A = this chain, B = another copy of it.
């Protein structure tokens, strides 16, 4: 069976979404290069609209609908960046976005979705609660469902970041993406292996949630019962749409220990003065832990997002006002 999406679907996605999204910058740090012993190029999707690459897939899905499909709106269930991305893309297209979120999801995330104009429906905390609430909404409104990652159109949108990377960074040797559900990694791998298969394509996941690593090894989707990591954007298992891409096109999956993820995050905050969420730090964490031979090579790391709860820092800061 041919792998989907194909290259032309990803190129079409880019034409569709480019007027709306940022072409994010690529930053470097001589201090980090020295520490890793390689030339590291950070593709800053933390500086993307809604603070994450997720707007690429969400806007491809929203703008890909016919006027008739679109008019009844879109629906998704997610507590994270995908929910905010669907809400913003729907606002751009001036259609309603119905977002199902668990009652237990942090106020800060509910506020973000509401801030982008999403209509929130709260539900219970199990996946089944979410699916049922989503199904009810679809029946009631006729809205179109946009999955968070297990969807060819969404994957095609995420893959567009690789088109920018190939243009922005010449002579790349290695490309590493954070690996969760596989939408970003799958879409990026599809582009890389078509255009420049010599690039070593790597996914990085938390050692504590190594389901993709084990899935690739065993040739079938492995799930972890209670996945738990500081990199809370990478807890989802691969889906039937993303697994074949990861299995066929990703050259290597590397793992990062929890403490190293925080160290890598701190290095990026202190040296580059940019904010990333823990998931974004996983590739650098694996490099710092010598999980990949990258010495002297040109390495691109996708910083997937920058949405992190900074309350603890600002509480401390407020406590310092005399």
Interface of A toward B, CB cutoff 8 Å: 25, 46-47, 51, 228, 230, 258-259, 262, 265-266, 269-270, 272-276, 278, 306, 310, 312-318, 320-322
Q: A312-B312, A312-B313 are in contact. Are A321 and B230 (CB under 8 A)?
A: yes
In contact, B273 and A310 (Cβ under 8 angstroms) = no
Q: In the docked arrangement, what's the CA distance between A315 and B47, Å?
A: 25
In contact, B312 and A46 (Cβ under 8 angstroms) = no
In contact, A275 and B269 (Cβ under 8 angstroms) = yes
Across-interface contacts of A265 in B (CB, < 8 A): 314, 317
Closest CB of chain B to A10's CB: distance in Å?
26
Q: A266-B310, A317-B262 are in contact. Are A322 and B273 (CB under 8 A)?
A: no
Q: In the docked arrangement, what's the CA distance between A266 and B314, Å?
A: 7
Q: In the assembly, how many copies of this chain are there?
A: 2
Across-interface contacts of A273 in B (CB, < 8 A): 46-47, 51, 274-276, 306
Across-interface contacts of A320 in B (CB, < 8 A): 230
Across-interface contacts of A312 in B (CB, < 8 A): 312-313, 315-317
Across-interface contacts of A230 in B (CB, < 8 A): 317, 320-321
In contact, B259 and A321 (Cβ under 8 angstroms) = yes
Q: In the docked arrangement, what's the CA distance between A312 and B316, Å?
A: 7
Q: In the docked arrangement, what's the CA distance between A315 and B312, Å?
A: 9
In contact, B317 and A270 (Cβ under 8 angstroms) = no
Q: In the docked arrangement, what's the CA distance between A276 and B269, Å?
A: 10
Q: A275-B273, A275-B274 are in contact. Are A262 and B310 (CB under 8 A)?
A: no
Q: In the docked arrangement, what's the CA distance between A276 and B274, Å?
A: 9
Across-interface contacts of A269 in B (CB, < 8 A): 275, 310
Q: In the docked arrangement, what's the CA distance between A274 and B258, Å?
A: 24
Q: In the docked arrangement, what's the CA distance between A46 and B275, Å?
A: 13
Q: In the docked arrangement, what's the CA distance between A46 and B270, Å?
A: 11
In contact, A258 and B47 (Cβ under 8 angstroms) = no
Q: In the docked arrangement, what's the CA distance between A314 and B310, Å?
A: 10
Please list 10 pairs of residues, one from A and one from B, whose beta carbons are closer than 8 Å in the complex, sorted by A's number: A25-B25, A228-B322, A262-B314, A262-B321, A269-B310, A273-B306, A274-B274, A312-B313, A312-B317, A313-B316
Nearest B residue to A273 via CB reads B306
Closest CB of chain B to A320's CB: distance in Å?
6
Q: In the docked arrangement, what's the CA distance between A314 and B308, Å?
A: 12
Across-interface contacts of A258 in B (CB, < 8 A): 321
Q: In the docked arrangement, what's the CA distance between A262 and B316, Å?
A: 11
Closest CB of chain B to A276's CB: distance in Å?
8
Closest CB of chain B to A281's CB: distance in Å?
10
Closest CB of chain B to A279's CB: distance in Å?
13
Q: In the docked arrangement, what's the CA distance between A259 and B315, Å?
A: 11
Closest CB of chain B to A33's CB: distance in Å?
14
Closest CB of chain B to A225's CB: distance in Å?
14
Across-interface contacts of A266 in B (CB, < 8 A): 310, 314
Across-interface contacts of A25 in B (CB, < 8 A): 25
Q: In the docked arrangement, what's the CA distance between A318 and B265, Å?
A: 11
Q: In the docked arrangement, what's the CA distance between A229 and B46, Å?
A: 31
Nearest B residue to A30 via CB reads B49
